[in-house]
């Protein structure tokens, strides 16, 4: 049986008292938490979070400059996590539900295992 390298917890979308997460599930939760947090809203951590929340309208209008700024910020977030390296990230706007989906593929450094995660923003 493989021993999980990373152990932690997340109470987001988890019912009950078992909030433990391990391995890639923990990495996905940590990255989603970072992207889901508006930049500058975490007390004592003014550079924590993502700029996507400030640029939702521009993204729905297909503003390429805004798209590049947001993608650059998401790549910064992924690079800040030493457990992973980014393979590809795209933004998928859904104007009907007013949601931008951050769809990213990463590789877990220690096991070289590729995984994807999606984070819906807005709505």
Do the domain assignments include residue 76? yes
Residue 31 has what pLDDT? Answer: 94
Arithmetic mean of pLDDT, 4-28: 71
In the three-class reduction of DSSP (H, G, I as helix; E, B as strand; rest coil), residue 16 is classed as: coil
Q: Per residue in 62-119, pLDDT tens?
A: 889 999 999 999 999 999 999 999 999 999 998 888 899 999 999 999 999 999 999 9
| CA atoms within 13 Å, Cβ hemisphere of 13 | 7
Residue 14 placed within a domain: no
CATH at 90: 3.10.450.40
| Domain housing 71 | 36-122
Q: Which residue has the tokens 């939760």?
A: 29
d(CA 117, CA 69) in angstroms, rounded, equals 20
Is residue 28 included in any domain, yes or no?
A: no
Q: How many structural domains compose the chain?
A: 1
In this structure, is residue 26 part of a structural domain? no
pLDDT tens-digit map of 42-77 = 999 999 999 999 988 888 888 899 999 999 999 999
């Amino acid at each position: 049986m493989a021993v999980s390298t990373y152990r932690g917890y997340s109470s987001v979308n988890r019912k009950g008292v078992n909030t433990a997460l391990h391995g890639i599930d923990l990495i996905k939760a940590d990255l989603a938490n970072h992207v889901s947090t508006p930049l500058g809203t975490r007390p004592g951590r003014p550079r924590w979070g993502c700029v996507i929340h400030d640029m939702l309208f521009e993204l729905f209008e297909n503003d390429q400059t805004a798209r590049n700024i947001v993608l650059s910020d998401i790549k910064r977030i992924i690079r800040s996590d030493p457990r992973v390296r980014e393979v590809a990230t795209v933004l998928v706007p859904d104007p009907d539900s007013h949601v931008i989906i951050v769809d990213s593929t990463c590789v877990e450094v220690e096991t070289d295992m590729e995984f994807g995660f999606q984070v819906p923003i807005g709505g």
